[in-house]
Chain A
């Protein structure tokens, strides 16, 4: 069966520091991968999605970047964190992109910026 791993589970970082969050998927090939942010009491915001290695689409202008160096690895990065980058970051995968395709989420990384 397919599984998705995200780490770390929690992270506290000072303003201006770099960031690297990693997500890996097991048990499937060529997944579509997604990075979301969920602010407290608010809905999901899609940050990036990827349909293949090296293919990244950004949904919103922001201080973050994403990379997909391997088929089942998705990385979220920042060179200099801002206070507004705090939130709950979720990685997800789907078999295809489409309205009838469920997305499967990892357990998330709770990022606090001080």
Chain B
């Protein structure tokens, strides 16, 4: 799977929007962009995914750059419960090994009250 680059940590104030960036300059045309998050001592939680178009769901929005070399996860109003490690990963739709999720180091989001 192609590699992603994320900042190690970010801070946000409660009730403000948060934009979590992810660079994936070597993305291929068949790579899906997925976001998961993991709270301490819990399993990862699926957040959102997309291929080319921006996506919205009840948890977040995913903005994908036109050249697909970067994306941004948007939490519209951060709460204290959003404090977690956020992982941006690519999953190759053309690969037979798409069953495996491979996490990098992710971004530790701290939400300040």
Contact = CB atoms under 8 A, between A and B. Distances in A.
Contact of B46 (A32, A103, A107): A103
B34 to A, nearest CB: 7
Nearest to A6: B43
Mostly, the B contact residues are: loop
Interface string A70-113: 00000000000000000000101000011111111111101000
State which size class the interface on A falls in: 20 to 34
Contact of B91 (A6, A59, A99): A99
Interface residues of B, number: 23
Interface stretch (B13-21, B71-79, B97-105): B97-105
A108 B91 CA distance: 23
A27 interface: no
Given A43-B104, A99-B92, A102-B34, A32 B42 contact: no
A60 to B, nearest CB: 11
Contacts of A102: 34, 46, 49
B106 to A, nearest CB: 9
